[in-house]
Amino acid sequence: GTGSEDVMTTIENEGFRKEFNRTAMYGKGTYFSNSALISSKYCKKIGNTQYYAMLACKTYIGVSTVGRQYMRKDELYMNDKVTQYDSLVNDVMRPSIFVINRDYHAIPCFI
């Protein structure tokens, strides 16, 4: 979650950084959702206000595969063993969670 103003400001100025991910339920990377309801579960109040903040982002999803918490490095590559998947998802047919492992594939657009 991007719960503090400091984190939001850092993302706005420097972009996303996958090394901040700690959970990695579907693999290492930065997590996004196409559902505001899912994303809202990771929002925290800003300071002592009644307000929450969420970033609307443009992301490059590309070719995906289902991610898992402890994926071997070779599982991140397509059948040709050369091309890496662009993203990991919770479900290939109906994804709602997307894991982007290249920081430059996500751009914050709106708060």
pLDDT recorded at residue 103: 85
Q: Which tokens go with 34?
A: 């196409």
**Beta pairing, strands 87-89 & 64-66:** parallel
pLDDT recorded at residue 5: 65
Question: pLDDT by residue for the chain (111 residues), tens digit each?
Answer: 555 667 777 787 877 877 666 677 898 888 999 999 998 888 877 778 888 888 889 999 999 999 999 889 999 999 999 999 999 999 999 999 999 988 889 988 877
Strand (E) or helix (H) holding 11: helix 5-14
pLDDT recorded at residue 8: 76
- Do 76 and 99 form a contact (C-beta atoms < 8 A)? no
